[in-house]
Amino acid sequence: MKKIKLIPLVGMEFNDATIALASSQKDVENLLGEPCSTRDHSLFYFNNELRFDLGDDGKIEFIEFLGGCDGELQPVIYGVSAFQSTADTLYNVLSEENQGEIDDSEDGYSYGFLNISVGIYRPSVPEDVEDMIAEATADGKPMDEAEIEDEMKKANYWATIGIGVRDYYRQPLF
């Protein structure tokens, strides 16, 4: 199992090696080899579970883990497993560490912790699953336990976590 530690505003430790934010593409390739895919200033590794976004200067400005709780890569941040801890647990830890403004404009689906440049995302929230169950039941096609469990997992655990350079989440998207 790969040991991964996210260090906001600094970078990540990966099996005792460090990949700093502001590292070059060459630095990443020297450590991890050729990416499994590339797209628009992004390098992808480990079956697309790890993404590095490069700025116009060719330096890393954002690192994102995309595998969620079922992925091969299980990063730790502030001593907490990003994907194995419940959504509320991780949110509370990040909120405490952030000590300031949080972008909560996506109503629980994602948060940007502005002071520590950390973002988290999930595809649904528990209320969505409750609505889904009610709609299926009303349509006479109730969800089975496995479907409910799968949907609740998506709602109660984060699917992605990313760290960026200082003020990454304060920048306009376009």
Q: Does residue 164 surpass a pLDDT of 80?
A: yes
> What integer best gives the mean pLDDT of the chain?
93
If pLDDT is split at 50, 70 and 90, which confidence band does 170 have?
A: confident
Count the alpha carbons within 13 Å of 145 in the hemisphere toward its beta carbon. 0
* Domain of residue 14, residue span: 4-122+157-170
Is the Cβ–Cβ distance between 98 and 118 less than 8 Å?
Answer: yes
Q: Is 59 left (phi over 0), alpha (psi -120 to 50) or beta?
A: beta
Please, which residues bridge with residue 102 across strands? 113
β-strand pairing of 76-77 with 4-7: parallel
- At residue 155, the pLDDT reads 94
Return the biggest CA–CA distance within the chain.
56
Query: Are 77 and 117 found together in one domain?
Result: yes
- At residue 173, the pLDDT reads 55
Q: Which residues contact 94 (CB under 8 A, 6 or more apart)?
A: 77, 78, 111, 113, 116, 118, 120
Q: What span, in angstroms and rounded, lies between the C-alpha atoms of 165 and 159?
A: 21
What digits encode the pLDDT tens for the residues 60-91?
A: 999 999 999 999 999 999 999 999 999 999 99
Residues 104-122 have a mean pLDDT of 95
Query: Are 143 and 58 found together in one domain?
Result: no
Query: Are 22 and 89 found together in one domain?
Result: yes
Query: Are 65 and 147 found together in one domain?
Result: no
Q: Does residue 174 surpass a pLDDT of 50?
A: no
Query: Are 60 and 142 found together in one domain?
Result: no
This prediction has a pTM of: 0.91
Query: Are 89 and 135 found together in one domain?
Result: no
Q: Is 15 left (phi over 0), alpha (psi -120 to 50) or beta?
A: left
- At residue 5, the pLDDT reads 96
38 vs 8, residue with greater confidence: 8
Query: Are 109 and 143 found together in one domain?
Result: no
Q: Does residue 54 surpass a pLDDT of 60?
A: yes
Count up the domains in the chain and report the number: 2
Q: What span, in angstroms and rounded, lies between the C-alpha atoms of 125 and 62?
A: 25
- At residue 112, the pLDDT reads 96
Q: Does residue 12 surpass a pLDDT of 70?
A: yes
- At residue 53, the pLDDT reads 96
Q: Does residue 107 surpass a pLDDT of 60?
A: yes
